[in-house]
Amino acid sequence: LAVACGAKTASSPSRQTSLHTMRPPPRGEPFTDFDELAEELAAQFNGDATALPDEAKSEWSEAELQMFFASGGQITPPPNPKLRAAARELEAKHDLRSPAQIEADAALELAREAAQKAPWWEKVTELDRQKAGVYRDAALARGIPDRPHGLIPADDPHFRQLHKAKHILPFEKHILFWESSQPHIKGGADGESRSVALHADEGYTHGDSACAGRGLDLRYFWDSSTLKVVAAVAYSQKAVGGWSAVEDETSTRWRSTLVHGGLLEAVLDELTAEVMKINIAPDMVTSEMTVRFKKPSSPGVVYKAEAAIVDVSPPLVTVSGRILTQGDEEVITCTAKCAMLDRLPSRPIGGFGGDERLELSPAECL
């Protein structure tokens, strides 16, 4: 199996919020998404983003922006630099976070501590750990944005259990851009490149477009106690193997009652990739996956799913995955072999975001 790693691009994600979203990481000046942040705060406090003074973008902190909009534009940072410095020093000495922010920060710290206890911790390099850490922090901080066309009922027992446990943290697919691999993504005041994991707002197997367009609602979580990715998944009639939309004197409308097997494989492909990305290597590719179908799947039913790391022998990682009924009967299982791209002798030029591509041979992947 030769895997072509083509060019992928990503833009700065919109700052969506929902019941399943943790607090985004705090920003530092200068902002790389200032306009989005200002518009979000303006909408939150019924304000006007165009009312901000010119110096806000280059000089104000996120807390100062929040105060401006919360006060209806009446409170602005003092123009005296010494007074502003004193205010920031006071802010640093006192915990001004909301209870929700404190809980979110505690969850991220729990995730970092859990990652350090992983049995493969000594098998990966410090660079591997840094990349996985950037990916994990960004993904867990964002959580799962709201899905207006979602297929999983909020009161589903399995779904509620996933949200109830404090050690099980929701997240969604991100794409890692590492340092010089994405020179157009700028960070500090001098415009140097930065390492960042950007949220992929939509994708074939995730996001509201998958629910509405492909009949798939897959929501996954990182279990910090087991280091597994666990999930709830449901399908609509759009996911079945076939149907007839024509009705005339010779035919009536009909549809299959079974979910297409390829969609189940796609779910496992997504989960096995994400368990590797959040634990070991965000720069990765699946080179082989063996699947065993055990039971048919039906639309309108919520299933359980999980993926786990089985073996880490860089550059190869073996991962298992499965989908189950809520009675714990296996529907489909898989074993996947994934390659750590930056450990291979050849890889896409410029990372996933590069404009050029190299093809990986079976020997390089396996």
Q: What is the CATH number of the domain that holds 206?
A: 3.10.129.10
Mean of all residue pLDDT scores within the chain: 81
pLDDT by residue (tens digit) across 325-339?
Answer: 999 999 999 999 999
| 338 and 194 belong to one structural domain | yes
Q: Is 137 in a helix, a strand, or coil? A: helix
Same domain, 89 and 102: no
Confidence at 251, pLDDT banded by 50, 70, 90: low
Structural domain contains residue 6: no
Judgement on whether residues 204 and 126 belong to the same structural domain of the protein: yes
Query: Does residue 3 fall inside a structural domain?
Result: no
ω into residue 30 within 30 of 0, thus cis?
yes
Buried b (16+ CB within 10 A) or exposed e, 327-351: eeeebbbbbbbbbbbbbbeebbebb
**Residue 251, domain member (yes or no):** yes
Residue 119: other Cβ atoms inside 10 A: 9
What is the rounded CA–CA span in Å between residue 207 and residue 147?
7
Do 134 and 278 have their domain in common?
yes
122-136, 174-188, 311-325, 334-348, range with the lowest pLDDT: 174-188
Q: Last residue of some domain: 75, 96, 117?
A: 96
Which of 67-76, 136-145, 216-225 is least confident? 67-76
Residue-wise pLDDT tens digits, 132-188? 999 999 999 889 999 999 999 999 999 999 999 989 999 999 999 886 544 444 444
Q: What is the pLDDT of residue 113?
A: 94
- Residue 104: per-residue pLDDT: 77
Q: Mean pLDDT across the stretch 55-62? A: 82
- Quick check: 318 pLDDT over 80? yes
Classify strands 254-255 and 243-244 as parallel, antiparallel or unpaired: antiparallel
Q: Mark whether 116 and 44 lie in a shared domain.
A: no
Q: Could you tell me the residue range of the domain that residue 245 belongs to? A: 98-365
Shared domain for 152 and 255, answered yes or no, is yes
Quick check: is 5 in a domain?
no
Q: Which of 133-137, 221-225, 269-273, 347-351 has the lowest mean pLDDT?
A: 347-351
- Please, which pLDDT band fits residue 60 given cuts at 50, 70 and 90? confident
Mean pLDDT of 23-29: 46
> How far, CA to CA in Å, does 179 sit from each of 55, 116, 364?
28, 23, 24
Give domain status of residue 4, yes or no. Answer: no
Could you tell me if 49 and 74 lie in one domain?
Answer: yes
In a domain, 92, yes or no: yes
Q: Do 123 and 257 fall into the same domain? A: yes
d(CA 77, CA 80): 9
Q: Is residue 1 part of a domain?
A: no
222 with 120, same domain: the answer is yes
- CA atoms of 173 and 272, how far apart (whole Å): 12
Q: What percent of the chain has pLDDT over 70?
A: 78
Residues 233-264 as b/e (b if ≥16 CB within 10 A, e otherwise) read: bbbbebbbeeeeeeeeeeeeeeeeeebbeebb
Question: If pLDDT is split at 50, 70 and 90, which confidence band does 36 have?
Answer: confident
My answer on whether 72 and 141 are in the same domain is: no
Does the global pTM surpass 0.85?
no
- Among 96, 127, 153, the domain-final residue is 96
pLDDT at 33 over 90: no
Number of independent structural domains in the chain: 2
| Domain's final residue, options 62, 96, 130 | 96
Looking at residue 22, its pLDDT comes to: 43
Please name the residues in contact with 108: beta carbons below 8 A apart, sequence gap of 6 or more.
Answer: 22, 137, 140, 141
If asked whether residues 117 and 91 sit together in one domain, one would say no
Q: Is residue 186 part of a domain?
A: yes
- Average pLDDT of the segment spanning 258-281: 97
Give the span between the Cα atoms of 197 and 192, in whole angstroms: 16
Confidence of residue 244 (pLDDT cuts 50, 70, 90): confident
The answer to whether residues 199 and 348 belong to one domain is yes
